[in-house]
Amino acid sequence: MYFNPSQKLSTIAELINAKFDGDPDFPVTGINEIHRVKHGDITFVDHPKYYEKALKSNASTIIINKKLECPNGKALIYSDDPFRDFIKLIKKFRPFKSSSSMISPTADIGEGTIIQPGVFIGNNVKIGKNCLLHANVTIYDNSIIGDNVIVHSGAVIGSDGFYFKRRPDYQDKFESGGRAVIEDNVEIGACCTIDRGVTGDTVIGRGSKMDNHIHIGHDSIIGKNCLFAAQVGIAGCVNIEDDVILWGQVGVQKDLTIGKGAVVLGQSGIAKSLEGGKTYFGSPAQEVRQKMKEIAAMKKLPEIIVKL
């Protein structure tokens, strides 16, 4: 999420009633959680295990719960609960706005776009030309949809990311302040769910096609011309490069990359990054030839055991 206009370090610290280390006029241009952080952004860290990662990240400002030496070119804000204060900032700069109509008057809808009965379009949504939104589609606030996009019935675009912090007696919700961005010529099947980024964008690349009942987690980036079959589930912060095919019921773990042109066969589970240009199967997913050899070998085990 970008700030428009840019904010000063002192202003951000004042909003959360915190002390800071750095030039009071130090610019803060946006807010992002650690997986998608960019230069100029503010992020947070609240566990010693991740201090070094945050301090060495592209973030320019870090909310942190321990007083450390401030790295050159960065600023630190000290908080007893960085998660809480980070959420305060999201709510300040991207507050929830209720709707009073099925199609918000602030929505920008392109020429030739067809909207079927029962479609909900939230605040500040932008939809391109010649799109088709079938009955009962829901488009949350701030979502962006390109030209020639088809969205089938019951799909939800821009719902909150599944991101919680475990507290002693409850799960603390990470309020989503990002967007869902659907590029040109995408088709989204019935009952798909595409979560918006928690602070950045969830992106579906140009020309990608999705079957029914697919879930895309927060801040995931899907490349161009990908094909996903029914019931594929993709966790948050996943990078899927161009021309990837995921067949039915493939499950993808968070924060990994699937390389360009990879094909993953049905019901496979992806637990780590996969190289592009290869076909995979199994859980955890392996190159298909190796996996099939293992399956063939396992079939021989009863015979081997009897001989023993």
By annotation, the residues acting in catalysis are: 218
d(CA 270, CA 2): 32
Angle at 134 between CA 133 and CA 138, to 5 degrees: 70
* Integer CA distances (angstroms), 113 to 89, 149, 238, in order: 35, 9, 30
Q: What is the DSSP string of the chain?
A: -EEEEEEEHHHHHHHTT-EEES-TT-EEEEE--GGG--TTEEEEE-SGGGHHHHHTSS-SEEEESS--PPPTT-EEEE-S-HHHHHHHHHHHHS-----SSSB-TT-EE-TT-EE-TT-EE-TT-EE-SS-EE-TT-EE-TT-EE-SS-EE-TT-EEEEPP--EEE-SSSEEE-----EEEE-TT-EE-TT-EEEPPSSSEEEE-TT-EE-SS-EE-TT-EE-TT-EE-TT-EE-TT-EE-TT-EE-TT-EE-SS-EE-TT-EE-TT-EE-S-B-TT-EEETTTTEEHHHHHHHHHHHHTHHHHHHH-
d(CA 10, CA 23): 8
